[in-house]
Amino acid sequence: MFKLVKTKKISIFFLIFFTLNSCAKEGFFKTGDARKISPDPKERVKKNLEEGKGFRINDAIKGNRGGATNFEFASSNELWRASLDVLNFMPLTSANYSGGIIITDWYSEEGNVEESIKITIRFLSNEVRADAIDVDIFYKKCVATNNCKINKQDGQLRKEITKQILAKAAVYKKMSKDKNYKPYRSSTSDNERE
């Protein structure tokens, strides 16, 4: 009985060891470039906290007083906000953040009721980059009320809307990064270390 338990423990240990070892090789544990990262842990902590990558215990305690919770909403996603800003002149049929899609209603300029457009934006990633969104533009041309032809086109308007969304999202991302920047104050002052 004792031998069986000991064998199971050793087997579990090796299983965990090899699993973690394979994760390290596949990139689960991200390694850093020693030329770009300071060897001083205090400098690394300072840099991470200033960029908003870490957390401070004091901020966490202050943030939860009174049972208040900090939620992340769609307004914190730069691509989502930029897309809604760019399409603010068009009525929306559907804007589903969890589904990652925005669909506008048919839109035509005043005086041109025979032609209208509809825009669909699908979000493929939360990162601000060119392949993170897929913009589709549909054109509808009507000869009569019930005689309409709808087709999808990849033209200059698609490129321009994608470009505007990415430009606005980059501005929002920079604003968010600047807002998260907090100067790091060490618990021991520089004078005490010297």
| pLDDT tens track for 138-160 | 999 988 778 889 899 888 999 99
Mean pLDDT, residues 92-99: 87
**Is 12 within a domain?**
no
Q: Which has the higher per-residue pLDDT, 148 or 185?
A: 148
Q: Is residue 1 part of a domain?
A: no
| Number of structural domains in the chain | 1
Whole-number Cα distances in Å, 9 to 2, 30, 173, 192: 11, 29, 48, 48
Residue 45 in this model has a pLDDT that exceeds 90: no
What per-residue confidence (pLDDT) applies to 66?
45
Please report, for the domain that includes residue 164, its CATH number. 3.30.530
For residue 154, being part of any structural domain is answered with yes
Give me the mean pLDDT over the 103-132 stretch.
88
Going by pLDDT thresholds of 50, 70 and 90, the confidence category of residue 83 is very high
148 lies in some domain: yes
**pLDDT for 49:** 67
Residue 88 gets the label, from left (phi > 0), alpha (psi -120 to 50) or beta, of alpha
Alpha carbons 104 and 102: distance in angstroms, whole number: 7
The one-letter code for the residue type at 119 is I
Is residue 13 domain-resident?
no
Q: What is the arithmetic mean of pLDDT over 115-120?
A: 92
Residue 187 has pLDDT above 90, yes or no: no
CA distance 133 to 135: 6
Q: State the residue range of the domain holding 157.
A: 74-178
Evaluate whether residue 142 is within a structural domain.
Answer: yes
**DSSP conformation letters of 74-136:** GGG-HHHHHHHHHTTTS-EEEEETTTTEEEEPPB--TT--SEEEEEEEEE--SS-SGGGEEEE
